[in-house]
Every structure is written in C-alpha cells, then in structure tokens.
Amino acid sequence: MTCPTRLRKSILSLVLALVSTTVWGASDDGPRITEAKAFITNAESQLEAAGHELAHASWLAATYINYDSQKVEALAYQRFLELSVDYANSAARFNDLALEESDRRKMELLKQVLTFPAPSDSEMSRELAEIGSEMSAIYGSGQFCRTLTGEEQECLSGDTIENLMRTSRDPDELLELWIGWREVSPPMKPLYERQVEIGNEGAQQLGYDNLSTFWRSKYDMQPDAFAADADLQWSKVKPFYDALHCHVRAELNDYYGDDVVPATGPIPAHVLGNQWAQDWSAIYDLVAPQSSDLGYNLDQLVEKNVEDAKHIVRIAENFFISLGFEPLPDTFWERSMFTEPIDHQAVCHASAWNLDDQDDLRIKMCIDKNAEEFKTVHHELGHNFYQRAYKEQSALFRGSANDGFHEAIGDTIALSVTPKYLVDIGWLEEEPPIEGDLGYLMNMALDKIAFLPWGLMIDKWRWQVFNGEVSPDEYNQGWWNLREEYQGVKAPVARSEVNFDPGAKYHIPGNTPYMRYFLSYIQQFQFHRALCEAAGFEGALHRCSIYNSKDAGEKLNAMLEMGISRPWQDAMQAMTGQRELDASAIIDYFAPLKEWLDVQNQGRQCGW
C-alpha cells in the first residue's frame, strides 16, 4: 500500500475532503447567495495560488533535504493551512442557504478542510495544532532499545522493527519486537483524548454532531448509510477471509506449535509477518501452495529487458498511451526524480505529483530494476494520468471522486501487469499454464484480502471514540475487541488501559483517515473487472490486462476527467455501469484460490 504524501493527488486535495450530505435549508435571500458565490470564487483563487507556492516548496523539501528547504516548506504550509482554516470556518456562515448544486458542493469541500477541524477559539486551535505536532514527534522519534550481549544496547526505529518482523521466524524475538514498539505510544493517550474533545467542538461549529459524523459525511451518502454499506461490502468478502484465516492459522500452528499459535481461536498478532498484522505476504513461504510456480520470474525479466530507471517509466507511460492517453509532457521527464541523488539527500518513497494542477506532472522515486518497482511505476503513473485528466475542472473539483479512488486507480493499473501484458510487450513468448497461478493468487490474497478487515476496523474504532461509544478508559479494550471481531487476531500478551496500542500505528497519531484504503482495495477490483469487460477479455480475471484497449481507455478517462465535480456514484457509473461499491469483483478475481482453500480446510475447525 502506498502511503499518502501531501501532494499525492493534487494540490488542493492536500486539504480538501469529499462532499458531505448536510441538508441545506430553503432560503430566498438573494443578496446572501450572491455573497456566497463571491466567497467561493475568492476561496478558489486564493487557495489555488497558495497551493502552487506550497507545491514547489514541498517538492524542494522532498528532493533536496536541508535546513533551508524544510524551513521554506514549513512556512508555505503554515500560510496554506491558516488560509484553509479561515475559509472552512467562514463557509459555515452559509449553512442555511439553498445554493445550486455546484456551489453547495464547493461550500462543503471548503468546510471539510481538516481531518480534525479547529474551533474558532484561537487558543483551542493552537492547542489542537500543538497536540498533533507532539503526537507525530512521539511516533517519529520512537525507538525500542533492547540489550544484546552483555550491557550493549541496540535501539531500533519503527521501520527497522517492521523489516525485522518480516523476516524473523523466532517467536521470542517477534514477541519482544511487538511489545517493544508499543512502549512508544502510551504517552499519546491523554493527548489523543484532548484532541478528540477539541475536534468534536470544531465539528459541531461546522454543523456536524461530532467527528464521527463529520468523517462519515464525506461520501455522498448519509453517514449511517455509508457505515452500513462498508459493513455490507465486508460481509461479501468475509467468507473468503475466513477461509484464508483458517489455512494460515493451520500452517502457522504446524510451524510454531500450539504454545505459540493455537489450532483454534484468533491468531496471535506477532507471527503474521507484519508489525500490525495488516499484510501477511511476508509469511508466504509458510503457507504457499505446492503448485505455485508461475513459469517466469518478473525480477529476471525486468533485469533482462530494462536499460535503466527512466526506461521503466517509458514502458509504463506506453501502457497509458496504448489506452489512448496523450504522452506525458516533456517537463515530466525534465523535472521528475527517477533515481536517488548522489550529492544530497532526498525522500525516496514513491509518490506522484502535480505542482500546478495542470501539466507540471512529476514522480519522485529512487527506482531499482526489479519487479516491485516495475509495478510501482505503473501505479504512480496512474495517479499522474488521473491528475491530468481532471485539470479542466475548477480548482475545488480537482481531486479524487472519493478518497479511495486515487489509490484504487493506481492499483487497478498494476493489476494489469499480467502474463498477457508481458507477452504483449515482448517479454514472454507465450503465457505460462494457468495451473501455476495459485501461488500468485495466494501472495496477492495475503496482501489484499488480509488487509480488508484491518482497513475497516481502524476507522470503526475512531468513529466509536469520536461519538463517545468508546470512552477514554476503554480505548485499548475497544481496539482489541474490534481486532478480534474483524481480523480474528489477538494480542499475544495481556494488554490493559495503561497501553495505547492504537497509537503504535502511524495513521492514528498522524490523523490520517483509513477508510480510503478499505475503499480502494475493493474499488480496484471493481474497476479492473469493468475495464476487462470493456476490453472484451475472456478468461480468468486475474489473467486480464487492459493494455492496448482503446475501449477500456475511453471508459477509464470518462471517470478520471470528472474529478470530484460530481458524487462518486456518478464517477463509478461512468466506468463500471454501477452506482454502488461492489466487492463481488474480489470474489471473481480470487475464485481459483477460494476453491483450493476450501479443499485444504476440510477437516479443520475454522472461525474464531
């Protein structure tokens, strides 16, 4: 999963969330409607100008790390943030006006400026900003120090711990690392509690009941209807997840024994190859089918056929050109960062940028010649072509149809990196037999299917915290109740309210909403199925590539160019013919693996 960056989708989507379904009262107050229109026009102009300044400052800070570049970015971000907060609070003045749909939508976007809306009280706004900064600092500077031989100590960052947990098979070490990282987060708990209090007051000033309603009002649906639909989609996938969980638990039980992984009940969270048990692909070697030979090695094909980093990007660009999209502008090739600089530091984490919301498209990566990077480049260009497609929209409408669409588009393109695609570009002479696909599907399922309940429960926990359903003295218990209910995963040791285990995940202290990832993991398969149908593909869905299909490209572009100007249901219909989220595409994609899992699980006691 690609992590969000400030400028991943577009400049204004940095802070502008999706439209809510606040009911607007009737009014015939013509002068105030004229005032509202002028307010929107001014807001778009001012935010666009400030956004361009911030875009260039942020690009400099990411690609040329030094004191001055960080200072310039911080100042630009502060100006942009203050401007955005001012417009958000001012927009609430027009809540009672019956505006036309386009203006109503823009007004709502302005109100949805921040994840935690600041109250109008300047002291509370300052406190909210300080809390966010302090929690981020606690997480970012967090370390776990352990004693090695004698009195020598080794201090490990979160990234180092995550990498160790991917590779270690020592249950004692895994438990030590799992517990150690969670020593970082308890100081966050009183800060988080206070942040919720202030954020709820800010949400109420904007016209929402609380932060839970505020967060769930971003999806062109009533808040409760959105939550119910998320549960509905999960219910479609849960039988597959249950089968995967059953097989993984049985294989881990065989490997570790009953003392570490019991044969029944939830799986201990520390043995799934990931610090948060959100991605199980690191334990593929323990659970893989015997018939898992793909018949080719993508790493070797990339090494053989690719000249350098820029060549990989040219190949990915050609994918989009084959769909009917225009080539990337010359400035993309002149201004992007494709490799790690040799004379200064830069952030290598892959991201896609649009610095002027028009044609100044770029990617920032340190590209290596391997299969993972090959797929990642296809993913990142998906963001760039999305950004360019909606450039003709007005400033507030340049963004993702909902916050899952941008990530879903990138992943949809990556799903087309199949044997058929490799044949089409001349890397394989013929597609290998489909019998070897079980390994590919298992590896994908350990990523995509295993993630879904995690993607859902994180914001379910926050919704319950925001609306008071889970009180501060139940934060940790509420967290583990949801993890066991949705994931079938349990803490490997006893936890209490002295702990604050939610804070051990970046997106909690970083206040990044998580439903975008849950949605994107469903939408990408729904998009893939629709585009494969448009391309006239017949066969197993996981073998489809839309490469060279102008019909698929036309469907894709019809959705991309809408941006956020219309409800996401309209964008979904433009590409898929459906107006709703539909997780059945995941079941179609993984059908061969589900059949195999059902055979493997015969005689096993599944569920938890």
Which positions are catalytic?
A: 349-350, 379-380, 383, 407, 507, 517
**Measured distance CA(458)–CA(452) in Å, rounded:** 10
Q: Distance of alpha carbon 548 from its chain centroid, rounded?
A: 28
CB 18 within 8 A of CB 571: no
3-state secondary structure at position 34: helix
Distance CA 367, CA 339 (A): 6
| Per-residue DSSP letter, 506 | T
H-state helical runs in 262-370: 284-287, 298-305, 309-322, 330-335
C-alpha torsion 178→197→5→561, nearest 10: 130
For residue 362, what are the β-bridge partners? 353
Residues 6+ apart with CB under 8 A from 498: 186
Q: Is 25 exposed, middle or buried (0-12, 13-18, 19+ CB in 10 A)?
A: exposed
Q: How far apart are CA 347 and CA 508, in angstroms?
A: 22
Answer whether 452's CB lies under 8 Å from 230's CB: no
How many Å apart are CA 326 and CA 388, to the nearest integer?
10
Q: How many CB atoms lie within 10 A of CB 183?
A: 14
Count the Cβ atoms, other than its own, within 10 Å of residue 70.
15
Return the percent helix, strand and coil in the chain, to nearest 5: 60, 5, 35
